[in-house]
Structure 1
């Protein structure tokens, strides 16, 4: 037996393997389902013991095969964009050395312990239909029941070379150059990303890198550049490898620095990196990651990224991250799970100070959205909601902000929101924040599956100090009153203006204990109220507001006053009429009833017409009162819809002046088609 082994060893070492190249080329071509050829020399030698085996398997002889000038063509019929019909090359290598196990060959398994490639030139491609040139599909007759050959590699080592990747689906085109670092050149990684957390296996020792790479290319219209270092030998068998990787890259405005380990490279799992990421806008991450994020100012973040990149089962955990967006700070944990038909982003984020201009609207308004031409001075916001990406990802995020700064407005305190995006339907429930020493709580549902977008909103206001809304008024240390209220509206539209212009529902507001004067309302920039108060009570007179109630029925953008009363120390004032939110036009009648009839002017009703941006206030001719009264009667008699939010005003019913008015404000508001149809009255 020993003699036979010696004869076999001598024969193997002396055999001219170039004579076997035709058979080897044909066999491997059939196994790969494409043309394969060893165009240079081919040789083989015995080796033992097996370095990667244990027990008796370690002493089973193996064979090391070495070839030069190897070529692997693209699969038949694989047509690269812009390429000629002639076969294209998937891979070339100046030299390849493979250590094969003999025992598995009996079971039609090609097991390579170590594959070493020198000077490879690899060109991978994926077409728009999803087909690629790296999946090996063996040729075989449909009636052939012979078991397929299996192919596996345990370790891969690359000595220099080039790699190209073209992905038509992602509009991605990359090329990379790989260089081997000699022992004297091996360096410890540098970069902005810190080492992995000390709890990982990789943190127990300094990572050593054996190859360096440079890459460049394009993603869409954005240029990509990068460089990095990696381990010299890549194990594809062991589940716990801790393959070191460090790189920096830039794609368009986005820059990243990554350092850490890939525990199981064969399955693209066990990722544990410290990641620094920055860019001009978080929205720019969509092309790179598929994450739907708002348009923002420049951002930078750093945290620990763990998870898996397995196709169809990718899971990313971005833990304990901290960063800035514009002048806002962000902290928290995020998870992204890849799934069909949509991936899902979940997590919790906190902020000590958040500027709304930094994160953009929660709903994601378009960056270039402005008032449309031809709006004729309308003032309601007309920026379009950017909902085109809502169908590409689901989301379940919780956000808590201690202080939220708004442009030209009071800051919000203790903002909390739970945002759920499911199948292109966004729910903000609850959305709670403090402002002007009061509280506002809302529920919003936006359905982008319908065109135009449908919006349902329920909002409750509690104990809002109106003077605190206007710094100029607060400086006078006088109160405009405290506001409680509720509003429920359903509507359609791709902007706030369109939504309000089509909405139906109800709104009810209650104000108590305030001071009214033309000067105070001018300071608050409440133009309509300023003019009305000036005409009713005089330009220089202050009146004490006991309470006020406004009850509005809204149908298809037309808000009809069912009840609107103000009780002051001078008079009780009734307001009737409509507000057309689609056209932003006012058609109101203001009728005062003096408590003591001190002023003749109080017997004269006023009209409020014009637009929200340019109101017109004047004396009301008597006959018009009948028409306004009829409209109000029709609205009050209209059937009610679903009850939602009652107005609560603790303690206010103690006031004898306000109790009758408050009784009208305790009925719950209703969303939907509230109120009878009311014709839109042309303004005069």
Structure 2
């Protein structure tokens, strides 16, 4: 009976123990695979498959999975898997989870991971993971991450990208004596194409353990070459997960800043070769590239650029140049920037410059990229302290530019000319397929001496004032001017001008040659008035009259900005008699870029004198458009006009009778220059 009393307890205890022993003896961790696959698939929103599972229990429990495969999203057309890992090993701190319900992964090891990141032609992709909402629970803390022989292949047609990545971790260089043990580094090498250009690069970052250690700045070293564009980013981040506490130096160099659009998302017009370097940081959800200095073509450049990224980035820039060559800014008006002599110009850029110079047309016809105009909002201030170039009659430059929803405002763009300035306000509406434009330009005390010095031949003194306005549409500067309606006015009283200008229009060869040979004499300007009308790209002369002590010069004709042709006549009524004086009008006709300039009569006896005079006529013609518009009428000028002989005064009557345009008749207010 006693034995029977012990049988039941033994059976009660023994059977479970035996069952446990049998379970342990025959246990296979693969039995948990369906549960893990189901939970992982639910978390990632795609199928996850595991071939084998291994586990080592303890305070630090290690779970290892062999041949892990992560599929593509349902219905994704690409064949194969999104990712495959030969072996994934995770070491978890069980006690930390029991204490704080926080998942602590002290080590993650990936062996031979392979990723195929693909975007289809219709914009769908397989690399955006549908991760579940983890709000309300402590974040996962990751210690060390080790990767061996990792590979990724990225194909994104919209970015013209097809490149391969090799990913691995390695031990950092040995630490200095007395310092902490060196941590591992993550190294990513890239090779392929991006934006249709070859790309190579290497990223070296710190260990995963230092990602959340605010007292241990995370090291970053990135080198990238995309076509002719080279990028170097090096330094540390105190909070790399949010790009916070950045102490990073960014270096950019390349053949054309336009290529940076594919890397930054910021549209920049075509530029010459450049090299700039400065500090990069991130705060208040904005990237800030500040304290940078460098060169663009023959111009220096320094300042700060700030970007607020988003669906439509907002860019704020404060830029300046101590010396600026206007040729380097050619891309902003649609022409090839730089010069043949500009340093570091690529072969392609030199060819483009040669093609531009060989074109029969003068006005830039490169269309503005309207979609890029709408891609970003911009607020930019630029100051060019000194404009270089002996043939440029401009001293400095100030630009205030804003772009909002594809609408561009230049308020103002201002050039200093001696003691005066040329200031304009421009509004471009790029919200439609064709850009609409409204612009006004004021000429305020423009220094004639500065303008004449740019010709290297003529002298002069005085101040010119005036106003111009235009309303038009078009997607290039050539189209805008060819479609334009508006007007141009100029007035000048007092001052003086090299007699060569007056003598040439009257073909006074002796005086012209003396001036051209470096023995100029000046003739006082009593009055100059010009009034032009622009209708559908045709610039017609209402009045062009120059009254001097030597002669009265009249201009008549038109400039067709639509087909870039000119048909103009200059005639002179001399106030004195000269043996060499021929009162023969000069005809200017043909293409605007290469006009034909000749006396109205077919044959002149003094051919040699004519050739000499005409040979020096072209330079002032090139500068005339700069000085053709003035400020307001004066009583003195009106008196001079009234003193002109009736037959000549009749030609000036329209301008004398017409009211002077208000400086802001274009309807665009111009703020003061700051």
Q: State whether residues 153 and 236 of structure 1, in contact with CA within 8 Å, keep that contact through their aligned partners in structure 2.
A: no
Instruction: Please state how far the C-alpha of 1:333 moved relative to its aligned partner.
Output: 0.8
Note if 1:347 corresponds to 2:317: yes
Which one is further off, 271-280 or 500-509? 271-280
Query: 1:153 matched to which residue of 2?
Result: 140
Segments of structure 2 that go 5 or more residues without pairing to the other structure are 1-16, 337-348, 515-520, 603-628, 644-651, 668-674
> In 1, distance between residues paired with 2:460 and 2:40?
88
> In 1, distance between residues paired with 2:481 and 2:134?
68
Query: 1:79 matched to which residue of 2?
Result: 76
Q: Which of 159, 165, 177 does residue 176 from structure 1 map onto?
A: 165
Local SS of the residue matching 2:506: helix
Note if 1:418 corresponds to 2:407: no
Instruction: Please state how far the C-alpha of 1:417 moved relative to its aligned partner.
Output: 0.6
Local SS of the residue matching 2:640: coil
Instruction: Please state how far the C-alpha of 1:583 moved relative to its aligned partner.
Output: 4.1
Local SS of the residue matching 2:366: coil
Q: Which of 469, 476, 498 does residue 479 from structure 2 map onto?
A: 498
1:627-681 deviations in whole A, cap 9, x for unaligned? xxxxxxxxxxxxxxxxxxx9546988489536998976744268679xxxxxxxx
Query: 1:487 matched to which residue of 2?
Result: 468
Instruction: Please state how far the C-alpha of 1:344 moved relative to its aligned partner.
Output: 1.9
Query: 1:99 matched to which residue of 2?
Result: 92
> In 2, distance between residues paired with 1:663 and 1:316?
57
Q: Which of 21, 25, 41 does residue 37 from structure 2 map onto?
A: 25
User: Residues 517 and 106 (structure 1 numbering): CA distance in 2 closer, same or farther, change over 3 Å?
Assistant: closer
> In 2, distance between residues paired with 1:670 and 1:26?
72
Instruction: Please state how far the C-alpha of 1:215 moved relative to its aligned partner.
Output: 2.6
1:94-151 deviations in whole A, cap 9, x for unaligned? 24123155787999x883433412324141525242443351467xxxxxxx999989
User: Residues 90 and 136 (structure 1 numbering): CA distance in 2 closer, same or farther, change over 3 Å?
Assistant: farther
> In 1, distance between residues paired with 2:134 and 2:505?
92
Note if 1:396 corresponds to 2:379: yes
| C-alpha RMSD over aligned residues | 4.5
Which one is further off, 125-134 or 651-660? 651-660
> In 1, distance between residues paired with 2:564 and 2:82?
66
Query: 1:328 matched to which residue of 2?
Result: 299
> In 2, distance between residues paired with 1:560 and 1:297?
37
- Length-normalised TM-score, structure 1: 0.72
Instruction: Please state how far the C-alpha of 1:412 moved relative to its aligned partner.
Output: 3.2
Local SS of the residue matching 1:405: coil
Local SS of the residue matching 2:468: strand
Q: State whether residues 381 and 495 of structure 1, in contact with CA within 8 Å, keep that contact through their aligned partners in structure 2.
A: no
- Length-normalised TM-score, structure 2: 0.73
Local SS of the residue matching 1:210: strand
User: Residues 113 and 585 (structure 1 numbering): CA distance in 2 closer, same or farther, change over 3 Å?
Assistant: closer
Local SS of the residue matching 1:360: helix
Query: 1:212 matched to which residue of 2?
Result: 187
Local SS of the residue matching 2:117: strand
- Provide the aligned length of Structure 1 versus Structure 2: 579
Q: State whether residues 44 and 131 of structure 2, in contact with CA within 8 Å, keep that contact through their aligned partners in structure 1.
A: yes
Instruction: Please state how far the C-alpha of 1:246 moved relative to its aligned partner.
Output: 1.6
Instruction: Please state how far the C-alpha of 1:331 moved relative to its aligned partner.
Output: 1.0
1:13-48 deviations in whole A, cap 9, x for unaligned? 99653443343334433443333344344113221x
Q: Which of 269, 280, 286 does residue 315 from structure 1 map onto?
A: 286
Q: Which of 407, 415, 436 does residue 454 from structure 1 map onto?
A: 436
Q: State whether residues 162 and 175 of structure 1, in contact with CA within 8 Å, keep that contact through their aligned partners in structure 2.
A: no
> In 2, distance between residues paired with 1:369 and 1:474?
25
User: Residues 133 and 498 (structure 1 numbering): CA distance in 2 closer, same or farther, change over 3 Å?
Assistant: closer
Note if 1:409 corresponds to 2:386: no
> In 1, distance between residues paired with 2:396 and 2:280?
29
Note if 1:294 corresponds to 2:252: no
Which one is further off, 20-29 or 270-279? 20-29
Q: State whether residues 514 and 544 of structure 1, in contact with CA within 8 Å, keep that contact through their aligned partners in structure 2.
A: yes
Instruction: Please state how far the C-alpha of 1:467 moved relative to its aligned partner.
Output: 4.3
> In 1, distance between residues paired with 2:468 and 2:181?
61
Q: State whether residues 593 and 602 of structure 1, in contact with CA within 8 Å, keep that contact through their aligned partners in structure 2.
A: no
Local SS of the residue matching 2:387: strand
1:466-519 deviations in whole A, cap 9, x for unaligned? 34334486666x41653222111122334444332321111111234455567x
Superposed counterparts of 1:219-238, under 5 Å: 219-234=194-209
User: Residues 418 and 344 (structure 1 numbering): CA distance in 2 closer, same or farther, change over 3 Å?
Assistant: same
User: Residues 102 and 267 (structure 1 numbering): CA distance in 2 closer, same or farther, change over 3 Å?
Assistant: farther
Query: 1:64 matched to which residue of 2?
Result: 61
Local SS of the residue matching 2:305: strand
1:371-423 deviations in whole A, cap 9, x for unaligned? 89998x55x423424334222222111011111235x7226323111111222
> In 1, distance between residues paired with 2:375 and 2:301?
24
Query: 1:524 matched to which residue of 2?
Result: none
Q: Which of 587, 596, 606 does residue 614 from structure 1 map onto?
A: 596
Local SS of the residue matching 1:295: coil
Q: State whether residues 549 and 565 of structure 1, in contact with CA within 8 Å, keep that contact through their aligned partners in structure 2.
A: yes
Query: 1:554 matched to which residue of 2?
Result: 534
Note if 1:439 corresponds to 2:387: no
> In 1, distance between residues paired with 2:75 and 2:214?
33
User: Residues 619 and 569 (structure 1 numbering): CA distance in 2 closer, same or farther, change over 3 Å?
Assistant: farther
Query: 1:133 matched to which residue of 2?
Result: 127
> In 2, distance between residues paired with 1:328 and 1:371?
23
Q: State whether residues 36 and 73 of structure 1, in contact with CA within 8 Å, keep that contact through their aligned partners in structure 2.
A: yes
Query: 1:162 matched to which residue of 2?
Result: 150
User: Residues 38 and 162 (structure 1 numbering): CA distance in 2 closer, same or farther, change over 3 Å?
Assistant: same
Segments of structure 1 that go 5 or more residues without pairing to the other structure are 1-6, 48-62, 139-145, 189-203, 522-528, 621-645, 674-684
Local SS of the residue matching 2:391: coil
